[in-house]
């Protein structure tokens, strides 16, 4: 079941024209959100997700969708799914799909995961795997998809993308966090990473609690001084990373570090979402 161009479709296939740019080039903009009781719940942050889509559509010169119709479609699907993906085509068509939470999410949040560092030596020439237009969440997700598939071959649950200098940028599905020197740090938004909705929510939450957040390049030496590492997105919230697999060794971090509670408190205020 999904919503497409003003209609609820009871099926698992979508018909597109063979020359549709969304099909040919991944020319879409999307955002994935988790529903906490309703679209109006602050944790759902419906407006934040829509604002990011609007901003990207304006930057790309694409047509805005019928937002009232899109919200109706989203509300319809919330009756079945706790996770929604809102996709907009260049001509303003909306496509909304739903899915369920990962079955092992609670375990990942509690015990952490393994992540593979996607170094140039692990990828085909010419080197690093990069996102296409990383400041926008477009349908061209080939880089992140390749990185995640590479991680699975190493029995890792996430992949960490790097730049040409080896700086850690983000994971294939979320933003990075590291605890050091008494506060949380995250890579800066400099056009190389996606400005995640959950990243913004967490920064605002921490600042409101008088807990400053630093932005710094996660270079190879600097990350060795981190006590804890995690990644965030709007679906999984916050998940610790206990092991980072590199081409030469493994870097381990404390997945039970007390600092992780600072990131988790944002969602502890409302645990009545649809699981």
Question: What would the pLDDT profile of 47-70 be if each residue is shown by its tens digit?
Answer: 999 999 999 999 999 999 999 999
Clarify whether residues 132 and 78 are in a common domain: no
Q: What does the pLDDT read at residue 175?
A: 98
Clarify whether residues 90 and 191 are in a common domain: no
Clarify whether residues 125 and 245 are in a common domain: yes
Q: What does the pLDDT read at residue 190?
A: 85
Q: Which residues 6+ apart lie within 8 Å of 102 measured at CB?
A: 108, 235, 236
Q: Which of 39-43, 81-85, 149-153, 187-191 has the lowest mean pLDDT?
A: 187-191
pLDDT band at 38 (very low <50, low <70, confident <90, very high): very high
- Which helix (H) or strand (E) is 61 found in, with range? none
pLDDT band at 275 (very low <50, low <70, confident <90, very high): very low
Clarify whether residues 238 and 190 are in a common domain: yes
Pick the closest to residue 170 from 230, 120, 228 (CA basis): 230
Clarify whether residues 166 and 239 are in a common domain: yes
Give the chain's mean pLDDT. Answer: 94
pLDDT band at 273 (very low <50, low <70, confident <90, very high): very low
Clarify whether residues 17 and 88 are in a common domain: yes
Share of the chain above pLDDT 90, in %: 88
Contact (CB, 8 A) for 140 and 269: no
Q: φ, ψ for residue 231 (rounded to 5)?
A: -130, 160
Clarify whether residues 126 and 250 are in a common domain: yes
Total domains in the chain come to 2
Q: φ, ψ for residue 160 (rounded to 5)?
A: -105, 120
**Is 50 strand, coil or helix?**
helix
Output b/e per residue, 220-231; b: 16+ Cβ within 10 A: eeebeebebbbb
Is residue 274 assigned to a domain? no
Compute the distance between CA of residue 1 and CA of residue 71 in angstroms, rounded to an integer: 16
Contact (CB, 8 A) for 78 and 39: yes
Tens-digit pLDDT profile for residues 113-129 = 999 999 977 666 556 78
Domain that holds residue 237: 105-268
CATH number of the structural domain spanning residue 256: 3.20.10.10
Of 48, 83, 99, which residue constitutes the final position of a domain? 99
Is residue 273 assigned to a domain? no
């Amino acid at each position: 079941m999904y919503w497409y161009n003003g209609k609820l479709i009871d099926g698992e296939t979508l018909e597109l024209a063979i020359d549709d740019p969304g099909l040919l080039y991944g020319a879409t903009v999307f955002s994935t959100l988790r529903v906490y009781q309703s679209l109006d719940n602050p944790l759902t942050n419906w407006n934040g997700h829509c604002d990011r889509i609007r901003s990207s559509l304006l930057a790309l010169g694409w047509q805005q969708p019928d937002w009232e119709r899109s919200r109706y479609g989203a509300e319809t699907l919330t009756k079945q799914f706790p996770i929604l993906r809102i996709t907009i085509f260049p001509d303003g068509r909306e496509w909304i799909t739903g899915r369920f939470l990962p079955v092992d999410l609670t375990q990942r949040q509690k015990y952490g995961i393994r992540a593979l560092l996607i170094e140039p030596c692990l990828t085909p020439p010419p080197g690093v795997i990069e996102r296409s237009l990383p400041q926008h969440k477009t349908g061209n997700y080939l880089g992140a998809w390749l990185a995640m598939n590479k991680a699975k071959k190493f029995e890792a649950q996430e992949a960490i993308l790097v730049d040409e200098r080896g700086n850690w940028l983000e994971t294939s599905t979320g933003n990075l966090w590291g605890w050091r020197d008494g506060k949380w740090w995250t890579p800066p938004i400099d056009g190389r990473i996606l400005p995640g909705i959950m990243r913004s929510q967490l920064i605002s939450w921490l600042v409101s609690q008088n807990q400053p957040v630093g932005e710094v390049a996660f270079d190879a030496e600097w990350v060795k001084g981190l006590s804890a590492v995690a990644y965030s997105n709007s679906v999984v919230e916050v998940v610790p990373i206990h092991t980072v697999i590199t081409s030469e060794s493994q870097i381990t971090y404390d997945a039970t570090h007390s600092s992780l509670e600072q990131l988790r408190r944002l969602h502890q205020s409302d645990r009545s979402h649809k699981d």
